[in-house]
Copies of this chain bind each other. A is one copy, B any other.
Amino acid sequence: MFELSAQGTFSAAHKVKGYKGDCAGIHGHTYKIDVMVRVEKLDKLGLALDFHKIKATLNTILKKLDHKCLNNLTFFKNHNATAEWIAVYVFREMKEKIKSVHSITVWEGLVNSVTYHEN
């Protein structure tokens, strides 16, 4: 089993609606995203999947979030703009493009992270 990890970042504003504390106010983060892909077998070149493909796909998705206020985006009208829902959002978008995506980790700052996977 091979597990490939690649990273991307985006900077966005958000607030956690209904939260009793600082996070209820509009603020922002430079989010770091780790995408993990699971592949059983290597191709003829000895690659599980081309890192360039993973990163290009991730960057296209993150570009839609970058320098935005997350709460204004369609997905986050129905889901609070927490790191948890950001992870779900990126997971679903990645999964549409790359079936072997296993998990998405969202770093909100340097020390807190949320990983989302379905199995």
A positions within 8 Å CB-CB of B: 1-7, 16-19, 21, 42, 44-48, 51-52, 79-82, 84-85, 87, 111-119
In the complex, chain B residues whose CB is within 8 Å of the CB of A44: 18
A-B contact pairs, 19 of them (CB 8 A): A1-B117, A2-B84, A2-B114, A3-B116, A5-B112, A5-B114, A5-B115, A6-B111, A16-B45, A18-B44, A18-B45, A21-B52, A42-B82, A42-B84, A45-B82, A46-B79, A47-B82, A47-B84, A51-B112
> Secondary structure of the A side of the interface?
loop
CB pair B45–A80 under 8 Å, yes or no, is yes
Distance, CA A47 to CA B24, complexed state (A): 13
Closest to A46 in B: B80
Please indicate which of the listed interface residues A21, A112, A117 has the most CB atoms of chain B within 10 Å of its own CB.
A112
CB pair B117–A84 under 8 Å, yes or no, is no
